[in-house]
Amino acid sequence: MNSNKSKKTKNKGSFGVDQETAFKVLYHPLLKARLLDERMVKLFNQGRFGGTYFSGCGQEATNVGAGVHMVEGDILAPSHRQLGAMVARGITAKRVLAQVYSTAESPDGAQQHPCHFGDPELDIVSPTGHVAIQVVLAAGAAYAYLLDAYREGKVKLNWDKDGIVWAGNWTLKKGTSLNCAFSFFGDGATAKGDFHESMNFAGVHKLPVIYMAENNIWAESVHVTENVPVERISERAAAYGMPGITVDGQNVFEVYSAVGEAVKRARTGGGPTLIECLTYRYHGHSMIDPADYRTDEEVQEWKERDPLKVFKEIAKKDGIWSEKLAKETEKNINDEIEKAIDWVEEESTRPKPDQFIDVTFRNPKFNEAIRKRWEKRKNV
């Protein structure tokens, strides 16, 4: 037997990603987020669900490149444009449509804004209308992770000579790791006090938070240059004692690689990271926004670097592109979406008024008290 016979290895591209990982881990959620998003834009325009809709078309690479790094127990604190991250986390088309149609089967019991997606089963926290509050929630979750780790004996406190432990002066024991909190927000949110308080708190306590700043140039209709006094949002990380990097938010491989390094650092006790992703939304802030504050040329320039197009170009260059896999992936996703639409429009049920009680108040005592009050009001 020839001992010098080389082992068969997987072909890896310029970002160290092989074909299987590229298609199953990155391309599938990337394409699913786009196809599902485009379908919901069409459904809204046809008047098949109410409220409004916040499309994330164009920003999928930022979402997916980070979302695929989440593991069980990690918290996702999104804004209203994080469909890609939630798809990467594992949310189904059926559960997404249940929410936008406000059905009884919705993950949040039809109590939130239809586009404030959340899913308790996947540890996805529903956002609110308060801009940047999700950044605070992420820091709080990360602090809870740290406290849990301390109670479990995973964290060693480093006392000084006076018997004091200063904030952040702790070490994670070898062989252990922390859960992470992932927070997404736009460039406009970085002008909010919530953002800065959260960053300061996370930096002081060395918390396992991944801050994903989606710089899509426009905070609704306000250009980033009128809202951010520094050239790069990532520069703001230095003030809070954490690394800050800027990546191409249209390149899912680059986002995946950068977030992977940040997650590895956070899980091993290295603290938070601010990652600025340069990206763009194709539609207005919401579907009722004509977006006439920007030019057609600007939109087209960004579409030339569409995340799906960039993925294909890089995969071809690295020799890991497969037209067959791409077509199979698209067919499977479209089948899932169409089945979900049929279900939500023909088989789903409307929520009952008292469903609000069970979803909003988790404490049984609160449930009973509110239910009695509700019954009394119904009889008036």
Q: Where are the domains of the chain?
A: 19-349, 352-380
Query: Which residue numbers in the chain have pLDDT < 50?
Result: 1-9, 361, 380
Residue 7 pLDDT: 43
Cβ neighbours of residue 284 under 8 Å, at least 6 residues apart? Answer: 290, 291
Give φ, ψ of 325 to 5 degrees.
Answer: -65, -35
Q: What is the pLDDT of residues 149-204, one digit of tens each?
A: 999 999 999 888 887 778 889 999 999 999 999 999 999 999 999 999 999 999 99
Residue 380 pLDDT: 46
> What one-character-per-residue DSSP string does 149-214 give?
HHHTT-EEE---TTS---TT-EEEPTT-----EEEEEEGGGGGSHHHHHHHHHHHHHT--EEEEEE
pLDDT averaged over every residue in the chain: 90
What is the CATH topology of the domain spanning 19-349?
Rossmann fold (3.40.50)
Beta-strand ranges (E) seen in 22-143 are: 75-77
> pTM of the prediction?
0.90
Q: What is the pLDDT of residues 281-303, one digit of tens each?
A: 999 999 999 999 999 999 999 99
Residue 8 pLDDT: 41
Q: Under DSSP, is residue 275 helix (H, G, I), strand (E, B) or coil?
A: strand
Residue 370 pLDDT: 54
Q: Beta-carbon neighbour count of residue 174 at 10 Å?
A: 8
